[in-house]
Amino acid sequence: MTAVFSPSLMCMDLTHFREQIHLLNTRADRYHVDVMDGHYVKNMTLSPFFIEQLRKLTNLPIDVHLMAEHPQEFLIDACIDAGATMICLHPEVVQKDAFRIIRHIHQRKCDVGFVLNPATPVAALDSFIHLIDRVTIMTIDPGFAGQPFIKEMLQKIKQVRDIKKHGGYSFSIEVDGSCNESTFRLLAEAGNEIYIIGTSGLFGLHKELDTAWERMKQIFAKETASIESR
């Protein structure tokens, strides 16, 4: 599978929102939007209103990662109404309603993914993994950008890759956290497919975003060249 790149928009320069989105529209495969409620994690970031404004500027898929204690009460529908094309949830907060929530999101013509925190086992998805469109592995603790990579998560990526292969599932595999020069090769070898790129992987590489994007692609190609040639 060709690598897919999803810029994490909480890391972008919001003072140049329109300019940067117009540029990314010609380069990115999809967008990653973090919505945090200040309770599930001790941070608050983007919102359904941000998604609505983003949708006015792009036709690319918008993946929304909900870090909220009660997403089913408001945020899911608000994000879909605003233009989200995928809702990604944490199994810990929706476990008792998981089947109903998955069904509801699909009925809204939106894809659904589940996000595994570093301490959350893959087994948390066992009951409904056949119904979902994405498995995201957090390689940092959720809530804040710029944290160090948790190398133990490479084994979890391999585990999800093997489950997908042996079960014949079609969900995509994504990594959130420290996707950058020091990890691209490790993540690709483990079986990752979608790279969420934030400060260290994209926005911090150069003050000019077009230059930063080209630098990111060059780094990725260099780091993964030996894998592609096998």
Pairing mode of beta strands 111-116, 134-138: parallel
Work out the angle between the directed axes of helices 48-55 and 75-82 (0-180°, nearest 10). Answer: 10
Q: Would the annotation count 113 as a binding residue?
A: no
The catalytic residue among 97, 133, 176, 210 is 176
Q: Would the annotation count 16 as a binding residue?
A: no
Q: Would the annotation count 32 as a binding residue?
A: yes
Q: Would the annotation count 182 as a binding residue?
A: no
Annotation marks residue 97 as catalytic: no
Pairing mode of beta strands 4-7, 86-89: unpaired
Q: Would the annotation count 143 as a binding residue?
A: yes
Annotation marks residue 34 as catalytic: yes
The catalytic residue among 34, 37, 77, 111 is 34
C-alpha–C-alpha distance, residues 74 and 78, integer Å: 6
Closest CA to 5 of 27, 20, 21: 27
Q: Would the annotation count 226 as a binding residue?
A: no
Residues with Cβ within 8 Å of 93's Cβ and at least 6 positions away in sequence, in order, are 40, 68, 69, 70, 71
Q: Would the annotation count 63 as a binding residue?
A: no
Q: Would the annotation count 114 as a binding residue?
A: no
Annotated binding site for substrate: 65, 143-146, 176-178, 198-200
Annotated binding site for a divalent metal cation: 32, 34, 65, 176
Annotated binding site: 32, 34, 65, 143-146, 176-178, 198-200
Q: Which residues are catalytic?
A: 34, 176
